Structure 1
C-alpha cells in the first residue's frame, strides 16, 4: 500500500492541506475540532510525517534551494511559504533566491546543487530552456512549481492554466460579453497556456479575440496600466478584458476608471490568481484561485522523495484544482 501523504490526511479529515500542516507544526491557530479531525485522520491512515533530520544521512546539507524570477508575486510568496513549511517539518532549511530572469544568474545558483551545496532544487518559472531542465532533472533532485517546462524527468506541480483561462473566459461570455480582449504575457510558460485557453473558449463560442496585447517585460501593475491605455486608444472598445494576473487587472481597472468608464457596466475585467490585489480593487476582481500554498507543500514532498528514496523519482506533473471566483468586476 502506498504511504499516506499530507493530501490524503487533508481529504480524509475534510480540511485543507494548510490546516494539516499547521496541526503538524503545533500551531495554535487551529480550532479544536479541526485538530481532532486531523488527529483522527492520521490514526486512520497510519500517516507518518517525512523523516526527521536525525534520521537522514549525515552527509546531507539539509538545505534546498528555490529559484524564481522575482519574489514580488503573491502567488510565488504563498507557494514558497508552503515549500518552507513542508521543509521545516523534515528538518530542512529552504533558501529562496530571485534570479531577475537572468539565465547567467540562474546557472550560478543551480551550480549550488551540482556542487553539493544544497540537496535539492525547486524551480519556479526558470529561464533555462526545457532541454536543460530535462538534463538537470535526469541527474539531480529537481522539482518544478507552477511554471512547468515540457520535461518528462522534472516532476511539476501546478494548476491546469489552459483550463483555468478557458473557464474564466467562458464566464465572461456567459455574462453577454462578445468583444473580449486579453492582456497577457507570452514569456511565461503559464502565460502561453492561458492564452491558449482564452482562444479555445472564444473559438468554441464562435468569437474572435477582440484585441490581444502581450507584455514583453515586467508583468505588473504599471504594465497593466500601460497596455490598457493602448487598448482604450483602439477603435471599438472591448466589453470585457481578461488579464493574466490580478496585479495587471488592478492596473487595467485603474485606467478604465481614469477614462471615466465603469467596471463592469462599460468594460468587465477579470484577473487571475486570487491574490490580495483582487480584494483591494474597486470593484473587487473576478479571478481564478490557485491553491498556491498546497502546491508548495506538494512540491517539497515530491522533492523530498527524490532526495531520500531510491525509487522516489516522480515524473510528469500533477494539477491541483483551481476555482473560479466571481466578484463585482464582471456581470452575472
Structure 2
C-alpha cells in the first residue's frame, strides 16, 4: 500500500493542506477542532512524515534548485508549481533557473548542488548526456520530471510519451484520417518518443510511407506556423496533423485557417499537453492531458527521500496515466 501523503490527510480531515502543515509544525494558529480532525486523520491513515522541517534545518540549506531549458512551457510551469507546493510543506524554498539548452550553463548550475548551496536538484529538460546524469545522481540528490534521461540512478516521473502519441494518432486514424503528418521535436527526449508512438500507430494501421509525413522543429508556436506552411505545399495535402505540443498545434491551426481551410473538416489537428492553449485555440484542441502538477509533487517527494533517507532512494522511473481529450479540432465526438 502506498504511503499516505499530506494531501491524503487533508482530504480525510476535510481541511486544507496548509492546515495540516501547521498542525505538523506545531503552529498555534490552528483551531482546536481543526487540530483534532487532523490528528484523527493522521491516526486513521497511519501517516508518518519523513522528517520534520525543524530537524532538517540543523544541517541543510532548505533550498532546492530546478533546471529547465526555458520557462515558457505550460507543462513545466505546472510541474514546477507541484514541486514548489510540495517543497513548501516540508519547509523548503524552491529556486528555478533556465538553461536555454546551454550545456555549459547547465553544468555551472549543477555545481550549485555540488558545492552544497542547495540540498537537491530537479531536472525538467536536461541537456547533459545520460551518462553524466547517471553519474551525478549516483553521488547527489537528483530527480527528473517530464523529460527523463535513460538513467537508473536518477529517479524520474513522467507520462508514457510513446503510448500517449500512439493513442492520439490512433484516434486520428479511427476518425477517418488517412494521410497523416506530425510536427515533432527530435532534439527532445519526449519528442523522439512521441515520434515513435506516431510511427507505430501508422504502421499498425497499414498506412503506406507516402501517407505519413514528418516535420522536425521545436515545441513552440512559430515552429508550428513555419512547418505547417511547408505541409500546405504538399499535394495531396495531409488530412490530419499531430503536433508535439498544444503550442505547436495553435500555430498549425493559425496557418491552416489563414490559408482558407477548415479545421477539422479539411484538416484535423491534434496537440499534446492539454495546456491552456488547447482551450484558447479556435476550434478547441484535441490533445493529451498530462498530470503535470502531480508529476511535480511526486518528484519532490522522491527528492525529499533522497535528501533525508539516502538508503531508501527511489530509482528508475514512474509513469503517471495520461488522458486523450477529444475536442472540436478533430473529427469525432468531443469530450469536454
> SS of the counterpart of 1:330?
coil
Cα separation, partners in 2 of 1:324 and 1:190, compared to 1, 3 Å:
same
> SS of the counterpart of 1:311?
helix
CA contact (8 A) 1:20 1:38 kept: no
Aligned length: 316
Match runs of 1:5-84 below 5 Å: 5=5, 21=17, 24=20, 42-56=42-56, 58-84=58-84
CA contact (8 A) 1:21 1:85 kept: no
* Cα deviation digits, residues 200-250 of structure 1 (max 9, x gap): 1111111145210011xx431111000000000122101100000000000
Root-mean-square deviation (CA), in Å? Answer: 2.3
CA contact (8 A) 1:6 1:20 kept: no
- Distance in 2 separating the partners of 1:236 and 1:226: 19
CA contact (8 A) 1:103 1:127 kept: yes
Q: 1:3: how far off?
A: 3.9
CA contact (8 A) 1:250 1:277 kept: yes
TM-score, length basis structure 2: 0.88
* 1:274 matched residue in structure 2: 274
- Distance in 2 separating the partners of 1:167 and 1:277: 20
Match runs of 1:23-172 below 5 Å: 24=20, 42-56=42-56, 58-172=58-172
Cα separation, partners in 2 of 1:253 and 1:180, compared to 1, 3 Å:
same
Q: 1:314: how far off?
A: 1.0
Which aligned segments of 4 or more residues in structure 1 are displaced greater than 3 angstroms? 5-10, 19-26, 37-43
> SS of the counterpart of 1:164?
helix
* 1:211 matched residue in structure 2: 213
* 1:223 matched residue in structure 2: 223
Give the gaps of 5 or more residues in structure 1. Answer: 27-36
Give the gaps of 5 or more residues in structure 2. Answer: 23-36
* 1:29 matched residue in structure 2: none
Cα separation, partners in 2 of 1:330 and 1:21, compared to 1, 3 Å:
farther
* Cα deviation digits, residues 47-71 of structure 1 (max 9, x gap): 2344332021512000000000000
